[in-house]
Amino acid sequence: MDTHFFLLADLHVDARWATLAALKAGLAQMQRLDAESPVVINGDLTNLGTPGQFEAVWTALAALPQSMPVIASLGNHDVRGPHARTWTNVPTARPAYFTETVLPNYRQAYLQPVTGQHRVYFSRVTGGIRWVVLNTEVGLKDAVVCSPAQLAWLDRTLTAGEAAGQFNAVLVHQALAGTHWRSNQYGGIGSADAPLKAVLRRHPGSFIFSGHIHNGLGVCEVIERDFGVCVDQPAYAVSENGVIGQGLGYYGTVGPTQVHLAAWDFARGVALSAYDVTWARTTLASRLPQLPAAAAKTARGLLARAYDQRKYADPAHADDVAAPAQPLFGPAYRAVVAEFA
């Protein structure tokens, strides 16, 4: 049986009327398309994480019918706050704005009424999908900090999803390092990268969804890795390359054998089917142990394919938004991956 969902990231709602208008227009379009499926938002709900910006987002989302539950993670723009002088990526730092303003808002307005939980990481099941929501536990400028408790919970939760025959969909705002184009910008996901990958390698059938990079349709890609399938989401309001719309996102379908992501500009109410993505539900990493030697060698090459992102270690290139000169995960790559399905 198919399970449907709407998938967004990087709303960046702020004091500009246009960002909130784009969100409201997109939500209205989603209701017209399918008023029975969840709205999944993978971070950067706001631009500065102020109470007023959060209130605007929560109010817009509260207008959705109960048949469209909201699953929302936080992004770096939400957690670091409006005061640039306090921003840091030092994992041992404890920025006060996150603990004093953002966390209470997120817990009171979303976590407790929607999930019934106090902690920032949680899971929800819709249809045959287990949404596994990861969040930083420190309000760093760009990076993520996951406690040992969160990592252990992730391991248990993915195990439970597998045992139930569910599709494990992991949500984390920042992309894991060495995956998508520009994933290493500003230090990437930071100290959480290696421990998260270590847990995910024990569950290679997972799909990992991320935003943050602001790639648009035509530049954001789907990548097979030895820890699962990584999906780079287009930025809803602030895509910086490729197709730049007012409300980019996906209307997703998980079926028995395939995952289909239908591309939309929801704010304009326009389907962008040229950028639809269809992927095998069974990941290449999970099939690897059963492959013959020659096929396994090819598969390992696909799993290791990666962009050279060394230039992002240089602050002079940190703001480079250009698309890659040579995309590595385009039609030819997808065709080879599909042969393993």
Give me the pLDDT at residue 310, please. Answer: 85
pLDDT band at 143 (very low <50, low <70, confident <90, very high): very high
Would you state the CATH architecture of domain 3-338?
4-Layer Sandwich (3.60)
Select the more confidently predicted residue: 247 or 246.
Answer: 247
pLDDT, tens digit, 9 for 90 and up, residues 5-50: 999 999 999 977 789 999 999 999 999 999 999 999 999 999 999 9
Question: Tokens for 109?
Answer: 């307005």
Give domain limits for the chain.
3-338
- Sorting pLDDT into bands at 50, 70 and 90, what band is 315? confident
Query: Which pTM was predicted?
Result: 0.97
Q: Write down the pLDDT at residue 306.
A: 96
Query: For residue 184, what pLDDT band results from cuts at 50, 70 and 90?
Result: very high
Contacts of the segment 190-193: beta carbons below 8 A, 24+ positions apart: 190/89, 190/91, 190/140, 190/142, 190/143, 190/144, 190/145, 191/91, 191/143, 191/144, 191/145, 192/136, 192/143, 192/144, 192/145, 192/146
**Amino acid identity at 207:** F
* 265-276 residue pLDDT tens: 999 999 999 999
Each residue of 57-98: pLDDT tens digit? 999 999 999 999 999 999 999 999 999 999 999 999 999 999
Task: Report the pLDDT value the prediction gives residue 238, as an integer from 0 to 100.
Answer: 87
- Residue closest to 280 by CA, chosen among 167, 157, 126, 163: 167
Are 271 and 264 in contact by the 8 Å Cβ rule? The answer is yes
Instruction: Tell me what pLDDT residue 309 has.
Output: 87
Say what the pLDDT of residue 15 is. Answer: 77
Instruction: Give residue for tokens 């999930």.
Output: 115
Q: What does the pLDDT look like over 157-173, one tens digit per residue?
A: 999 999 999 999 999 99
Percent of the chain past pLDDT 70, that is, above it, reads 100
* pLDDT tens-digit readout, 187-231: 899 999 999 999 999 999 999 999 999 999 999 999 999 999 999
Supply the mean pLDDT for the chain.
Answer: 95
pLDDT of residue 30: 98
CA angle 60, 169, 151 (to 5 degrees): 105
